C-alpha cells in the first residue's frame, strides 16, 4: 500500500499549530517548544511495532526491527530556526514516519531489513551557532572542546542547555554507535531555493552538498576626522571592504553554480564623523567542486590584497570554518531519479547550497541520497515558506518509491542501473 500523503500533510499542520505562532515555527532545539514537538512525535508512534530511544547526542531513533539487523534509515530534523517555516525538516521526519508505517503494514510488522526513522538534534544551530549538532556527533566529526565554549545570546552555555535535555556533553560521541548496520540513509527536504520552481519541476535528486569556505576578513586603515581629512589622504578600511563585496559577485559568476556572500560588515569606530579605521567582514563561499572552491578562495584573497593596497590599507584573513563538498552515493542518486520520474515524469539533478544532516551521514561512509521538493518562491527560514500541496503529495509518493528501491538494492535484487 502506498504511503498516505494526506496524513503527512495533516501531521505537518498539527505540528505547526502546536509549536508555531503568527511569526512561524518556533521549534528551536533544546527549548521547551522543541521538546513539545518531540513528545508529540512520540505520541504518533503508539500502536506501531516500533521502539524509540534517544542517543547520547539527543538524536531520536524509531526502529521497526526486521528479519535482518541491516537497516535502512530515513529522516531529517524537527527543530526549526526562530520564526521558521512549517516544512523545513518536519516534512522529512513525518514522511519518513509515513513510509515506515507503510512498510510495517505491508510486511505484517516484520520487514526483511530493519527500518529506522531518525530525528536529528539541532540541525539548524539557531541558538548556539553550531549546525548539524546531532548528526556530526553521529558521524564523529564534532569537537567537544569547541562545543563546550558555545553560548547563546543570553549567556547560557550549550553544555547547560544539553544537560537540561538530559544530554551530557562528554558523551555525545557515543552517538556513533548508531552507525552500526546502517546500509543506506535517505532524506526528503524542501529545496529552500528557486531552481526547481524556475525549471517548472516539482522534484529533484540532490547531487550532494556544496563545500564551504567561511572566513573573517579584517581591513586595517587609519581612523581620521571626517571633516579635516582630504579624500586623497584617507586610508578607508570600508572602501577596501566595499570593493571586495562587489568583486565576489564576479568571482562567483565565473563558476556556474558557485555562490559567494559577504554577510556581515562591521566598521570601527563606526561613528558618523570618522573615516573607518578598521572593517571586519565575513565571507562565505560555496561550490560542489572542491577545485572551484579553492580557486574562488584564492581569487577572493588576491582581490582583497589588491583593494587593500589601492586603498593604502592592510588585510588579514582567518578561517572561521570550512567543509569539503560532499557528493551523495551515485547508485542511490540513480534510484532517486528513477523514483522521481515514475511519479513526476521528469527529474533534475541539483547540488544543495545549504548543508544538511545527510552530508554528515554521507561523511560517515554510509550510502546517502536526498530528494528535494520545490519551494514556492525559493523562500525558507521564513514563516512564508511553502510548497504546493500537490507537490507535497508527489514528494511523499516519490520518497516512498525511493525507499522501496533502496530496500531492493540493500537486498541485492536491484540491477546495477535502474
State whether the Cα torsion 161-175-76-348 is positive or negative.
Answer: positive
Q: Could you give the angle at the alpha carbon of 106 between the alpha carbons of 409 and 43, nearest 5°?
A: 105
User: Of 61-69, 89-97, 272-280, 282-290, which segment contacts Zn ion by CB under 5 A?
Assistant: 89-97
| Nearest to Zn ion of 385, 400 (CB atom) | 385
C-beta of 387: minimal distance to Zn ion in Å?
Answer: 13
Residue number closest to Zn ion, CB atom: 89
Extract the C-alpha cell encoding 255. Answer: 563558476
Residue 147 touches Zn ion, criterion: CB under 5 A: no
DSSP 8-class letter at 173? G
**CA-based R_g, the chain, Å:** 23
User: Of 18-26, 33-41, 82-90, 213-221, which segment contacts Zn ion by CB under 5 A?
Assistant: 82-90
| Nearest to Zn ion of 313, 369 (CB atom) | 369
| Nearest to Zn ion of 238, 336 (CB atom) | 336
* Total residues in contact with Zn ion, by rule CB under 5 A: 2
From 89, 202, 351, 367, residue interacting with Zn ion (rule: CB under 5 A): 89
Query: Would you say 381 and 88 are in contact if contact means Cβ atoms under 8 Å apart?
Result: yes
| Nearest to Zn ion of 123, 311 (CB atom) | 123
292 exposed, middle or buried (CB, 10 Å; 0-12, 13-18, 19+)?
Answer: buried
| Nearest to Zn ion of 278, 381 (CB atom) | 381
C-beta of 207: minimal distance to Zn ion in Å?
Answer: 17
C-beta of 231: minimal distance to Zn ion in Å?
Answer: 47
Residues 76 and 88: their CA atoms lie apart, in Å, by 9
User: Of 86-94, 258-266, 340-348, 399-407, which segment contacts Zn ion by CB under 5 A?
Assistant: 86-94
| Nearest to Zn ion of 252, 359 (CB atom) | 359
Q: For the window 397-416, what string marks contact with Zn ion as x by the rule CB under 5 A? A: --------------------
Strand 326-327 relative to strand 113-119, pairing: unpaired
From 37, 66, 71, 88, residue interacting with Zn ion (rule: CB under 5 A): 88
Extract the C-alpha cell encoding 226. Answer: 571626517
C-beta of 18: minimal distance to Zn ion in Å?
Answer: 19
| Nearest to Zn ion of 88, 197 (CB atom) | 88
| Nearest to Zn ion of 119, 159 (CB atom) | 119
C-beta of 88: minimal distance to Zn ion in Å?
Answer: 4
Query: Would you say 167 and 142 are in contact if contact means Cβ atoms under 8 Å apart?
Result: no
Q: Could you give the angle at the alpha carbon of 186 between the alpha carbons of 130 and 207, nearest 5°?
A: 80
Going from the C-alpha of 97 to that of each of 48, 62, 122, the distances in angstroms are 10, 9, 19
The residue behind cell 505491508 is 106
Count other C-beta atoms under 10 Å from residue 125's C-beta. 17
Residues of the shown chain interacting with Zn ion in the complex, contacts defined by CB under 5 A: 88-89
Amino acid at each position: 500500500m502506498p504511503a498516505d500523503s494526506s496524513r503527512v500533510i495533516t501531521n505537518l499542520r498539527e505540528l505547526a499549530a502546536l509549536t508555531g505562532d503568527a511569526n512561524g515555527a518556533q521549534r528551536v532545539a533544546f527549548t521547551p517548544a522543541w521538546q513539545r514537538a518531540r513528545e508529540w512525535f512520540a505520541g504518533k508512534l503508539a500502536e506501531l511495532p516500533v521502539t524509540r530511544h534517544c542517543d547520547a547526542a539527543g538524536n531520536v531513533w524509531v526502529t521497526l526491527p526486521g528479519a535482518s539487523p541491516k537497516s535502512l534509515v530515513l529522516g531529517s530534523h524537527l527543530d526549526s530556526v526562530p520564526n521558521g517555516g512549517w516544512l523545513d525538516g518536519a516534512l522529512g521526519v513525518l514522511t519518513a514516519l509515513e513510509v515506515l508505517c507503510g512498510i510495517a503494514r505491508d510486511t505484517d510488522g516484520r520487514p526483511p531489513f530493519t527500518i529506522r526513522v531518525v530525528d536529528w538534534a539541532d540541525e539548524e544551530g539557531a541558538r548556539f551557532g553550531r549546525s548539524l549538532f546531532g548528526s556530526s556527533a553521529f558521524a564523529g566529526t564534532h569537537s567537544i572542546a569547541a562545543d563546550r565554549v558555545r553560548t547563546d545570546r543570553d549567556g547560557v552555555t550549550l553544555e547547560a542547555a544539553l544537560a537540561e535535555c538530559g544530554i551530557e556533553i562528554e558523551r555525545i560521541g557515543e552517538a556513533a554507535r548508531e552507525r552500526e548496520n546502517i546500509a543506506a540513509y535517505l532524506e526528503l527536504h524542501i529545496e529552500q531555493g528557486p531552481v526547481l520552481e524556475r525549471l517548472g519541476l516539482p522534484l529533484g535528486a540532490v547531487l550532494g552538498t556544496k563545500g564551504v569556505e567561511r572566513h573573517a576578513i579584517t581591513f586595517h586603515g587609519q581612523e581620521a576626522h571626517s571633516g579635516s581629512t582630504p579624500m586623497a589622504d584617507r586610508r578607508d578600511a570600508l572602501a577596501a571592504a566595499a570593493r571586495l563585496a562587489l568583486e565576489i559577485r564576479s568571482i562567483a559568476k565565473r563558476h556556474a553554480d558557485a555562490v559567494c556572500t559577504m554577510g556581515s560588515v562591521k566598521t570601527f569606530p563606526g561613528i558618523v564623523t570618522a573615516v573607518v579605521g578598521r572593517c571586519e567582514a565575513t565571507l562565505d563561499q560555496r561550490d560542489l567542486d572542491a577545485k572551484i572552491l579553492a580557486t574562488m578562495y584564492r581569487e577572493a584573497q588576491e582581490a582583497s590584497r589588491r583593494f587593500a593596497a589601492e586603498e593604502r590599507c592592510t588585510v588579514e584573513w582567518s578561517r572561521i570554518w570550512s567543509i569539503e563538498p560532499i557528493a551523495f552515493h551515485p547508485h542511490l542518486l540513480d534510484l532517486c531519479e528513477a523514483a522521481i520520474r515514475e511519479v513526476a515524469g521528469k527529474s533534475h539533478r541539483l547540488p544543495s547550497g545549504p548543508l544538511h544532516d545527510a552530508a554528515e551521514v554521507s561523511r560517515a561512509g554510509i550510502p546517502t541520497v536526498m530528494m528535494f521538493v520545490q519551494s514556492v518562491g525559493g523562500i525558507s527560514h521564513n514563516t512564508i515558506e511553502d510548497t504546493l500541496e500537490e507537490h507535497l503529495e508527489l514528494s511523499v509518493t516519490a520518497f516512498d518509491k525511493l525507499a522501496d528501491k533502496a530496500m531492493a538494492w540493500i537486498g541485492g535484487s536491484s540491477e546495477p542501473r535502474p
